[in-house]
A and B are shown apart, each in its own frame.
Chain A
Amino acid sequence: MFQQIIFYWFALAAIFAGAMVITVRNPVHAALFLVLAFFSSAGLWLMLEAEFLAIALVLVYVGAVMVLFLFVVMMLDINIAVLREGFARYLPIAAVVALMMFGAIGYVVGPRYFGLDAAPSPAPAAASYSNTEAIGKVLYTDYVLPFEAAAVILLVAIVAAIALTHRGTRQSKAPRPERQVQVRRADRVRLIKMDAERGG
């Protein structure tokens, strides 16, 4: 019973936060709601006995990714009014499509097929079971190929980010004394002969 209350608490918080992310006007608030969504998901994962993933989610996403994200969002000058243009115009048709999809998905993913009798929850693991150890055992053995592929994806992300923002090496403005002392008069002074300007 207690577990169910906690589950629903986290689940509702996740849905609420997710909805707020896409509806609030202030992008900083949206990013903070995303943090709340990550926290709630981490809570759900803890209940599934996936402690390692839950903590990694908080450390990596909340601790690192979202902080960077907040910095970026704060530095950007986003015009909300432009983003919201057409919202009211597309709302009716979007609402109809969304409701139809919601109904269809609800019919399929309802208690009929995913209820507790159809899909009983697995027996809880023994107290000595370590989720971290289990992941560690398969990550570098059975799943080494997908793991490496994910690493290459991160490498591509780095390369892409640099390729898109790097604008060539900047010329240094620092003076170079060894060249300054070698300057001769001919390099700097130019005598120009001009005709005298005619009056009038």
Chain B
Amino acid sequence: MTDFHLIVPEATLLGLACLVLLVDAFRSPRSTAATFWTAILAGLVVLGQIAAFVPEAPGIGFHGSFRLDVMGAVLKAFCVVLTLFSFFYTREYCEKRKVAMSEFYPLALFATLGMMLLISANSLLTVYLGLELLSLSLYALVAMNRDSAASSEAAMKYFVLGALASGMLLYGISMVYGVTGTIDLPELLTRATAAGDKRILVIFGLVFMVVGISFKLGVVPFHMWVPDVYQGAATPVTLFIGTAPKLAAFAMAVRVLVFGLSGLAAEWQQMLIVLCVLSMGVGNIVAIAQTNFKRMLAYSTIAHMGFLLLGILSANGKGYAASMFYSTVYSLMSMGAFGSIILLANERSESDQLSDLAGLAKRSPWFAFMVLVLVFSLAGVPPFAGFWAKWFVLKEVIAAGYVWLAGLAVFFSLIGGYYYLRVVKLMYFDQPEGRPAITASPDLKLVLSVNSLAVLALGLAPGILMSVCLSAMSYQP
């Protein structure tokens, strides 16, 4: 067990998640506070361990299954921070809507464990197992709102399509294994490049693996589950699904495509271009027609994920760093956007219609401003963080020679600006018309404010996060 130091955060998280499970089983029936605070404690301990075990040089262990490097450590830290934030939002939602949902905490921690495995994967087996651990927890979380028919339908759809996508991924992996004889990513890198006349078989496997990754990211045409799941799940679950797992999916794309198959970059670039253009187009145009805020954000996610792929398809270290910056900033922004739905929610309704935002500026000027920051950032208006995320990605796409693609991305973003600005119009120029005043606990007010101000601060000083991303992506296979 000489490799054990590599997985200290993961092992601790597993132990603490089981502890949270036990605490939840024996807590007092009236209050979920014990579960909540144990889960927060678990997250903080794991975060400390990730920070303490940032490696000098990449460490590979467990017979090549696991790889601890700077990229992994940074992404894992972000995932844990996002999960911790989502816990606060969840508690607020449960108190407002008078539901228990205390299983959220252990299941979300197990999902985080899956993300951490996925992020640190060094073999296709670990990729698959991490993905399944993450997905299985998410299916259960979506279905947790048992009394809602929409929620059950969303969970069923997510589960069936997810199983299909896993099958596709496995089929691709089996093809690649059949040709190269390895599931070890660094080994695969050399053997896939030297596949000779069997290269077509590796490409064939690659197609199916890209399908699996696309499903996880939710890009067109593998996006069918996204709107239904986002709308059907309880808001904190949507918030969780829309944030940290996107970072994990990004990491999965990088591990498989860059660390394992960058010898086939010319092939997967073409596939990603198609996915990008379709996602940005469909996502931005269909979002205009939505009246449900969660569904609109789902289509906005699809568009954003298309944008994120732009950075990966430029196929160089700077492009990957730009994508990593994009995924981090996106997670923060979408967390705030879903958080604002929880802010609006009350005992009687989920408040996830766009019209529920009407006149927010009169009901609560400060939170209207916070949502304004988030929405402008999602739209990519300078000087907010979302602008820089788009800027860095576009710069790399143009440097890689895809000027037309960059032009198309800007065009679709302009279309997208319309539905984001409509939110601003609703908040500032429409009348509240007897909508209830905003009631929220001090916790939520603090968390949502910190969330929005972080987006604002990242917009004013994007260089810090970008330099972190650049150093994380400095490894070139």
A residues near B (Cβ < 8 Å) are: 105, 108-109, 113-114, 118-119, 141-146, 149-150, 152-153, 155-157, 159-160, 163-164
Residues A149 and B103 in contact, CB atoms below 8 Å apart: no
Cβ-neighbour of A156 out of B63, B65, B110, B146 (below 8 A)? B110
Give the interface size class of chain B: 20 to 34
Q: Is B265 an interface residue (CB 8 A)?
A: no
Residues A159 and B21 in contact, CB atoms below 8 Å apart: yes
Nearest chain B CB to A69's CB is how many angstroms away? 15
Residues A159 and B106 in contact, CB atoms below 8 Å apart: yes
Residues B201 and A108 in contact, CB atoms below 8 Å apart: yes
18 pairs, CB–CB < 8 Å, chain A vs chain B:
A108-B200, A108-B201, A109-B201, A114-B178, A119-B178, A142-B63, A145-B126, A146-B125, A149-B117, A149-B129, A152-B14, A155-B18, A156-B140, A159-B107, A160-B107, A163-B140, A164-B144, A164-B146
State the main secondary structure of chain A at its contact with B.
helix
Residues A152 and B133 in contact, CB atoms below 8 Å apart: yes
Cβ-neighbour of A113 out of B133, B140, B201 (below 8 A)? B201
Closest 10 A-B residue pairs measured CB to CB? A160-B140, A142-B63, A163-B103, A145-B62, A149-B129, A145-B65, A108-B204, A156-B110, A146-B125, A153-B133
B residues near A (Cβ < 8 Å) are: 7, 14, 18, 21, 62-63, 65-66, 103, 106-107, 110, 113, 117, 125-126, 129-130, 132-133, 136-137, 139-140, 143-144, 146, 175, 178, 198, 200-201, 204
Residues A153 and B136 in contact, CB atoms below 8 Å apart: yes
How many Å lie between the Cα of A29 and that of B106 in the bound state? Answer: 38
- Residues in A with CB closer than 8 Å to B129 are 146, 149-150, 153
- Residues in A with CB closer than 8 Å to B21 are 159
Residues B107 and A149 in contact, CB atoms below 8 Å apart: no
- Residues in B with CB closer than 8 Å to A163 are 103, 107, 140, 144
Q: How many A-B residue pairs have CB under 8 A?
A: 72
Residues A153 and B132 in contact, CB atoms below 8 Å apart: yes
Given contacts A153-B132, A160-B136, A164-B144, contact A145 B7 (CB under 8 A): yes
Nearest chain A CB to B252's CB is how many angstroms away? 15
Residues A143 and B65 in contact, CB atoms below 8 Å apart: yes
- Residues in B with CB closer than 8 Å to A164 are 140, 143-144, 146
Residues A157 and B117 in contact, CB atoms below 8 Å apart: no
How many Å lie between the Cα of A105 and that of B168 in the bound state? Answer: 13
Residues B14 and A159 in contact, CB atoms below 8 Å apart: no
Nearest chain B CB to A194's CB is how many angstroms away? 39
Look across to chain B and name the residue whose beta carbon is closest to the beta carbon of A114. B178
- Residues in A with CB closer than 8 Å to B130 are 149
Residues B133 and A149 in contact, CB atoms below 8 Å apart: yes
Known: A109-B204, A156-B137, A159-B110. 20 other contacts (CB 8 A): A108-B201, A109-B201, A113-B198, A113-B201, A118-B198, A143-B63, A145-B65, A145-B66, A146-B125, A149-B126, A152-B14, A152-B133, A153-B133, A155-B18, A156-B107, A156-B140, A160-B107, A160-B136, A163-B107, A164-B146
Look across to chain B and name the residue whose beta carbon is closest to the beta carbon of A147. B129
Nearest chain B CB to A88's CB is how many angstroms away? 21
How many Å lie between the Cα of A155 and that of B114 in the bound state? Answer: 13
Nearest chain B CB to A182's CB is how many angstroms away? 25
How many Å lie between the Cα of A146 and that of B7 in the bound state? Answer: 12
